[in-house]
Amino acid sequence: MTHKIKSRRTLTQICNRLRQEKKSIGFTSGVFDLFHAGHVEYLEKAKELCDVLIVGVNSDVSVRRYKGANRPFVPEQQRAKVLAGLSSVDFVFIFNERRNQQNILSLKPDFYIKAGDYLPDQLTSREAVTSVGGKVVLIPVESQISTSEIIRRIASAECAGNQTVVRKNGAVHFERKLSKAVPAVFLDRDGTINEEVEYLHEPEKFRLLPNALKGLKKLQNMGYRLVIVTNQGAIGLGYYTKEDFYRVNRKMFQDFAPAGVNIDKIYFCPHNAAENCACRKPNTELIERAVRDLNIDLSNSFIIGDKTSDLETGRRAGIRTILVKTGHAGKDGLFAVKADYTAEDLLDAAGWILQKERTGSS
Active site residues: 188, 190
Q: Say how many residues make up the chain.
A: 362
Q: CA torsion 147→151→157→158, rounded to 10°?
A: 160
DSSP assigned state of 115: E
Going from the C-alpha of 339 to that of each of 20, 126, 299, 322, the distances in angstroms are: 49, 25, 17, 5
- DSSP letter string over 263-304? -SEEEEE---GGG--SSSTTSSHHHHHHHHHHTB-GGG-EEE
Helix (H) or strand (E) holding 341: strand 341-343
